Amino acid sequence: MVRVIPPGSSQDPSHDGFRYWAFLSYSWADKRRARALHRRLERFAVPRRVRRPLRPGGPLSRRLRPVFRDEEEMAASGVLDERLCAAVDDSAALVLLASPDSARSRYVDQEVRRFVATRGTDRLVIVAIGEGGRSRPPLPESVRGLTGEPLWIDCRDDRGVGRRALVRIAAAVLGVDFDLLWGRHRRRRRKLLAGWTALALTVAGVVGVALWQRDLAQERSPDRQTAIFRDWYARDHGVSPTDPQVRISRIDDLNDDGLLDYIMDNGALGFCGSGGCGMDVYLTKSPGRYVSVLSLLGDTTPRVRTGRDGRKEIVVTQMTVDREPLYSVYTLHGEKYELRGYEFCDGLFFERCEPTFIQDLRYQDGFAVAPDASPVQRPQAGARPIEDLRAVSLQVAGVLPGGRWYLVCGTANADSGEAGFVPASSIRH
């Protein structure tokens, strides 16, 4: 077990208490080295188990602070003034920076002589600095021929006092066993290193995530997303990305995944005809990766709205009824938009009407239109016939609620063109 005698305790008869942990004695020529050692000593963290008060009844010291270092150049008188005498007497230990310059200094000699005269060599620490050599450096006269053996630490040829040497000095100042203090110091440094490493990794992770989020935000900005899509579309279709005929008719987030999706007008590629121009709908899997989910003909710009089930629907005019628009409603199922049915506004604007919904029957078998059927412009008795459909071969396109009226269109233009209504009596099952 390490025996610790706190300065100023009842077992230390030399003093009732101290003001400084140590007095740093050095030559003015070594002031740069002295300043560096002073700073490191006062920052030294004392392990919890060996903390002790500088004065009886005082707080346990977490640091070796204060350490006295005189910052005033000595006068030429060669006499140690009262201020320095009091500082030596008020210091628990004395640390001597031994060098050729300090060996010639009368002031250093007097400081060491005064300290040794009152407390011997137990708390005297000699730190050799300057050029190296096998022999001990020159020492002040007061140190030569001492009966006791002070602690001697060789730091010659080093740029400064190393970590191990610093712990040896601290152990002497505190009056504790070096091995105990060195072991605790190393454990503390390992914990600090682990903590700083964890902090560095955390900071690096946070910075990395922030940079990734910044890059992702830049990549997902509307302008950047659209520019990436234009470049991809131009390469995929063999057109120039700056061609004014490459037209995006609508941009929207159709599946609410945070990525913009695109409806392209293919009129520039020669896909326009009597039924309108070709349009393709592309869902974005990731910037630069796209999948076509709908290809259709239409003579108006498609609209996007949120349906009753919360999913976004595409509404486009593909057919007309006596020149009034009939709206085709497409809903996303999986990765394809499928026709849900038709809406007829009976001459009103799309934004203001309460449309009649017509269920799609185009691809269902078992329905035929009677040869004498006469399509009309409204699903009601007495409505005016549609002349353009009188001599046209017809097919069933959909059925209205209640099943009393059916939507029919010409077989030649099943996806576009003119449509009309016929009563259920004109349908053969």
Phi, psi at residue 428, to the nearest 5°?
-105, 130
What is the token pair recorded at 260? 């913009």
The crossing angle, in degrees rounded to 10, of helices 82-89 and 106-119 is 40
For 32, other C-beta atoms within 10 Å of its C-beta total: 9
Compute the C-alpha angle 179/153/185, nearest 5°.
Answer: 30
Q: Which position among 111, 313, 343, 418 bears the catalytic label? A: 111
Cα 336 to the center of its chain, rounded Å: 36
What is the token pair recorded at 372? 């004498």
Which residues lie below 8 Å from residue 31, measured CB to CB, with a gap of 6+? none
What is the token pair recorded at 256? 């609410």
User: Contact at 8 Å (CB) between 248 and 263?
Assistant: yes
In order, the DSSP letters of 316-332 are EEEEEETTEEEEEEEEE
The span from the CA of 399 to the CA of 403, in Å, is 6
Confirm whether 111 is a catalytic residue: yes
Compute the C-alpha angle 368/371/376, nearest 5°.
Answer: 90
What is the token pair recorded at 219? 């990549």
Phi, psi at residue 358, to the nearest 5°?
-125, 120
Which residues lie below 8 Å from residue 418, measured CB to CB, with a gap of 6+? 319, 320, 321, 322, 386, 388, 389, 392, 409, 410
Nearest to 373 by CA among 356, 397, 392, 351: 392
Compute the C-alpha angle 74/76/78, nearest 5°.
Answer: 80
The span from the CA of 304 to the CA of 138, in Å, is 94
Cα 218 to the center of its chain, rounded Å: 14
Q: Where are the beta strands (DSSP E) in 56-150?
A: 67-69, 94-98, 124-128
Residues with a catalytic annotation lie at 111
